[in-house]
Structure 1
Amino acid sequence: MNKSELVDAIAAESGLTKADSERALKGFMGAVQGALKKGDRVSLVGFGSFSVSKRAAREGRNPQTGKTIKIAAKNVVKFKAGSELADKVN
């Protein structure tokens, strides 16, 4: 499902117009991005939680040459599904 399909699904489920659904989705994404940027965790009970984790610097290998390269440390976003979501998928 891509973004436009998700907007269509939100509109169908909620009874909102597609334009309102797209604004709501953009608002949700902006709020989650802002919270994660500050280092906060976003928890949606029954759905799941978004968090930021630090990945340490490490050494890797270039698969073409086999040469060792340095991979910089960075922050990564993680999503852990809630029990209700996991039950519906299974």
Structure 2
Amino acid sequence: MAKALTKSALAAALAEKAGITKKQANIVLVELAQLAYKNAKNTFTLPGIGKLVLVNRKARQGRNPATGEVIQIPAKKVVKFRVAKACKDAVLGKK
């Protein structure tokens, strides 16, 4: 399997494609991440890739795997990423 694309490799590819410097591309990536963090509560969408959504998880019962003891897991908010259909089709191929 191929290696994962690093931040610097992503910035270099973006810079080459957009005709900007690597430093400018790196700034774009950092600002995009900051924008996603600020707007995740209201749903942040990356067109064609997916969206960040805030989800409330219900309280539930779990089990301690070491002792088998039943424990109560409290309700909490979590951030999830929902992949767009276009991204799924591009990566996995159409059925």
TM-score normalized by structure 2? 0.75
Amino acid in the other structure paired with 1:57 = A
Aligned-partner residue type, residue 63 of structure 2: R
Between the aligned partners of 1:6 and 1:74, the Cα distance in structure 2 is: 33
1:59/1:11 Cα in 2 relative to 1: closer, same or farther (>3 Å)?
same
* Superposition misfits of 4+ residues, deviation over 6 angstroms: none
The SS at the match of 2:68 is: coil
**Percent identity of paired positions between Structure 1 and Structure 2:** 35
Structure 1 residue matching 2:33: 3-state secondary structure: helix
- The TM-score normalised by the length of structure 1 is 0.78
Q: Does 1:46 align with 2:42?
A: no
SS at match of 1:51: strand
The residue type paired with residue 66 of structure 2 is Q
Aligned ranges 1:5-84 → 2 under 5 Å: 5-36=9-40, 39-84=41-86
Q: Which of 81, 86, 89 pairs up with 2:88? A: 86
What is the letter of the counterpart of residue 72 of structure 1? Answer: P
Q: Which runs of 5+ in 1 are unaligned?
A: none
